[in-house]
Amino acid sequence: MILALMKASINKYEIAKKLGIKHQSVYAWFSGKTSPSMKHLISLSKVLGISVEETIMLLKKGK
């Protein structure tokens, strides 16, 4: 998870800003408390520069 964030040179606050959501939502996704909607999953993948499948794996590792 950290590697993808470092590779994208972005933190969770910046992800939230780019997606137009609260940073608490991003933290909840990465901690495994909630899952992003398909719309947000696709957007998150684009922000991180990885595939949707890789993003799903990334979020599962956070649980």
Largest CA distance in the chain: 24
- Which string of b and e fits 17-37 if b means at least 16 CB within 10 Å? eebebeeebbbebbeeeeebe
What does the pLDDT profile of the chain (63 residues) look like in tens digits?
A: 556 665 667 888 999 999 999 999 999 998 989 999 999 999 999 998 889 999 999 888 765
At 44, which CATH number?
1.10.260.40
The total number of structural domains in the chain stands at 1
The pTM (predicted TM-score) of the whole model is 0.82
**Residue 52 near residue 42 (C-beta atoms within 8 A):** yes
Q: For residue 13, what are the domain limits?
A: 2-61
The encoded tokens of residue 10 equal 């972005």
